[in-house]
Structure 1
Amino acid sequence: MGAGLIGREHAALLRANPRVELVGIADVSEAAQAVADEFGVRFFTDMREMLDQMRPDGAIIALPNALHVEAALACVERMVPCLVEKPIADSLDAAMRLVAAVEEAGVPVLIGHQRRYSPDIAKARQVVRDGTLGRLVAINAMWMTDKPAAYFDAAWRRLPGGGPLLINLIHDIDCLRFICGDIDEVMAFTSNAVRSFEVEDTASVSVRFTGGALGTLLMSDAAVSPFNWDTAAGQALYFPHQPENSYHLAGTKAALSVPCMDLWRHETEAGHWQHPLVRQHITLDGSRAYENQLNHFVDVIEGKAKPLISARDGAMTLATVLAIARAGREGRTVAVSEMLT
């Protein structure tokens, strides 16, 4: 559902995977007919009609944010498992409506935070959970890049619900939740000074994790920079790979940089700041995040696995980002729990 930028990429991934067969594309745009023709599948302008006629085993929802819940509910009503591109919804009310429907019906819904399937993110989570870093103390994350003017020809990207907090930083928030645990409180400054759109183009954020660690995030889609996971990890579908680090995790025993995966620690446990650090590179398996995500979705459809990020989990990531947006608007510390009451 949806034949835009990411929808076309999903279609290509489906066509390349021997475990699945792409059978239909639904999109209200006439231009999407050409995409369906390119992939040799049936084209529908009504997603419900596609679901009713094709009766698919699963569906991928790659529509604008505001349409995610409507499309997912259409799948849930027909007992069709679905993968919903992030964010789960453009509002928390809508997200929780979907969560309630999913949990009542028992239909698996997977939220498309694809970075969780990247080997660097999975390994970082393991390193933290194994205690290799000791007690986690501080986290720094960056996501900065320069989007071209043509990117904003799509009006929804310039309007509330479509800014880089919900389009981009939400990925980093989800990664940090996945690696480091839930976030309790946030503070933020946001700015739209570069483009003067209704949505932000830059934000600086401070967070407190449930486990006590503190974190900072710096985000901008109007700044030239290699410091973003999309290009740094080499996992993005349509960006050049430029090796760098976008996350730094520091604990009482060691520090880890991601995605280059260098682990820094002292030679002995008695070491401290006046002693040299030893760098150890962690080798990854070379797998691809989007391919891993699709294979996991197939496992979910076949009943072999539960969603790595459920609708409720996706709603918590959304709640955290919306808390950041509120903190920026109101100039105060916001507890994520406020968003859930």
Structure 2
Amino acid sequence: MNPLRIAVAGAGLIGRRHIELIQASNACRLCALVDPAPGAAELAQAAGVPLYTSLQQLFAEQRPDGVILATPNHLHVEGALACVEQGVAALIEKPVAHTQEQGKRLLAVAEQGDARLLVGHHRAHSAILAKAREVIAEGLLGDLVAVMGSALFYKPDDYFNAAPWRRQAGGGPVLINLIHEIGNLRSLCGEITAVQAQASNATRGFAVEDSVAISLRFASGALGTFMLSDTAACARSWEQTARENLDYPSYDDEDCYVIAGTRGSLSIPTMRLKYYEQREHRSWWKPFNTAIAPLEQADPLQRQLTHFCQVIRGEAKPLVTVRDGLRNLQIVEAISQAAHSGRLVDTTSL
């Protein structure tokens, strides 16, 4: 098969990473860059592709097989709608939209026309999560009872100095970082039906939260706790444990999730298992069987690109749909609402 022709809209850090992956792939090739910023010209020249200032200009001159939308959040929906109108498949970087209203607008169009839209929650393509879902589906843990999760890391001062808006409401870890974790937890444990939260800004004193304690209820009846902080000198985060992005130092003695069921537990990403062999003799007086579920290391962004090519060719349905992306956004905003109100927020009607 001829390589698919893919355009990238957005020449920022994630856009550049997508370009690198396309250039390294045999399944596709870069055909264009879309970005009005002056600095994009140098990147397009180095890649040997034409530069367009808008998707409208791109579609007026050529019709790629797919477009990766790595644009600012507020441009995601308009860009995706432009691709749908042209019948072109799109990979939309997360979040799928900058508001729930815009996300619902895109969802209506996407589902009405069966559009080929993949949302870029790249961790959904993680080999670690795939193995964890397999272990849970096999029933080795029994019925899920509880999940304990954390995203604890320390953002340096220059992170905030480079973008002062990160000190204001909307610039904290709930709306920036938590959406990754919600996607992970929903894929592992099922739908989230209610949330509670407490937030604090006591460490940095900014107008935005720096730490949040979250309670979750899942449709299965399982309960969860999650600790989020961008001011905690701790390695219990996905980035510092999963070893999927080598820009982060990692530590093989740390986990960021523990999932417990009626028969056993799984720690992620070390994949350490503790389980009772015989269901009828379960007791805290009895020792566990222990094992480590085998893993193959893989770059989830590369796996996502491979999947996107399959979606373009009609060989697969999107693993992360617009509805999935919107649901992740809704849960994150519900957690923010719960933290501000101090009340439990029912998410079943969102």
What TM-score does the superposition give when structure 2 sets the normalisation length? 0.92
Q: Which of 169, 179, 185 is the equivalent residue of 2:178? A: 169
Specify the SS of the correspondent of 2:188. Answer: helix
| Letter aligned with residue 219 of structure 1 | L
CA distance in 2: counterparts of 1:149 and 1:22, whole angstroms: 36
TM-aligned CA distance change 1:23 to 1:158, over 3 Å: farther
Q: Percent same amino acid at aligned positions?
A: 43
TM-aligned CA distance change 1:57 to 1:159, over 3 Å: farther
Say if 2:194 is the partner of 1:185.
yes
| Letter aligned with residue 275 of structure 2 | R
Moved more, 182-191 or 278-287: 278-287
CA distance in 1: counterparts of 2:317 and 2:277, whole angstroms: 40
Residue correspondence of structure 1 range 48-63 to structure 2 within 5 A: 48-63=56-71
TM-aligned CA distance change 1:163 to 1:90, over 3 Å: farther
CA distance in 2: counterparts of 1:158 and 1:79, whole angstroms: 40
TM-aligned CA distance change 1:198 to 1:50, over 3 Å: farther
Residue 251 of structure 1 corresponds to 261
Residue 229 of structure 1 corresponds to 238
Specify the SS of the correspondent of 2:183. Answer: helix
Instruction: Note the C-alpha offset of 1:128.
Output: 1.6
TM-aligned CA distance change 1:43 to 1:101, over 3 Å: same
Specify the SS of the correspondent of 2:231. Answer: coil
Moved more, 214-223 or 64-73: 64-73
| Letter aligned with residue 289 of structure 1 | P
Q: Which segments of 5 or more consecutive residues in structure 1 lack a partner in the other structure? A: none
Residue 30 of structure 2 corresponds to 22
Instruction: Note the C-alpha offset of 1:107.
Output: 1.4
Say if 2:282 is the partner of 1:260.
no
Q: Deviations over 1:142-187 (max 9, x none)?
A: 1111123333424564555553223211111111101110000000
CA distance in 1: counterparts of 2:307 and 2:165, whole angstroms: 30
Instruction: Note the C-alpha offset of 1:196.
Output: 4.4
Instruction: Note the C-alpha offset of 1:198.
Output: 4.4
Q: Which of 317, 333, 348 is the equivalent residue of 1:322? A: 333
| Letter aligned with residue 251 of structure 1 | G
TM-aligned CA distance change 1:123 to 1:329, over 3 Å: same
Residue correspondence of structure 1 range 1-341 to structure 2 within 5 A: 1-152=9-160, 153-154=162-163, 157-236=166-245, 238-243=247-252, 244-269=254-279, 270-338=281-349, 340=350
CA distance in 2: counterparts of 1:160 and 1:239, whole angstroms: 27
Moved more, 108-117 or 302-311: 108-117
Instruction: Note the C-alpha offset of 1:193.
Output: 3.5
| Letter aligned with residue 283 of structure 1 | P
Instruction: Note the C-alpha offset of 1:20.
Output: 0.6
Instruction: Note the C-alpha offset of 1:268.
Output: 3.1
CA distance in 2: counterparts of 1:148 and 1:27, whole angstroms: 29
What TM-score does the superposition give when structure 1 sets the normalisation length? 0.94
Moved more, 163-172 or 129-138: 163-172
| Letter aligned with residue 248 of structure 2 | F
CA distance in 1: counterparts of 2:283 and 2:79, whole angstroms: 54
Q: Which segments of 5 or more consecutive residues in structure 2 lack a partner in the other structure? A: 1-8
CA distance in 2: counterparts of 1:335 and 1:41, whole angstroms: 49
Instruction: Note the C-alpha offset of 1:261.
Output: 0.4
Specify the SS of the correspondent of 2:176. Answer: helix
Instruction: Note the C-alpha offset of 1:266.
Output: 2.8
Specify the SS of the correspondent of 1:93. Answer: helix
TM-aligned CA distance change 1:157 to 1:90, over 3 Å: farther
- Residues 36 and 54 in structure 2, CA contact (< 8 A), matched pair in contact too: yes
TM-aligned CA distance change 1:64 to 1:149, over 3 Å: farther
Specify the SS of the correspondent of 1:22. Answer: strand
Residue 4 of structure 2 corresponds to none
Instruction: Note the C-alpha offset of 1:29.
Output: 2.0
TM-aligned CA distance change 1:117 to 1:17, over 3 Å: same
Instruction: Note the C-alpha offset of 1:295.
Output: 0.3
Instruction: Note the C-alpha offset of 1:81.
Output: 0.9
TM-aligned CA distance change 1:84 to 1:198, over 3 Å: farther
Specify the SS of the correspondent of 2:30. Answer: coil
Moved more, 201-210 or 39-48: 39-48
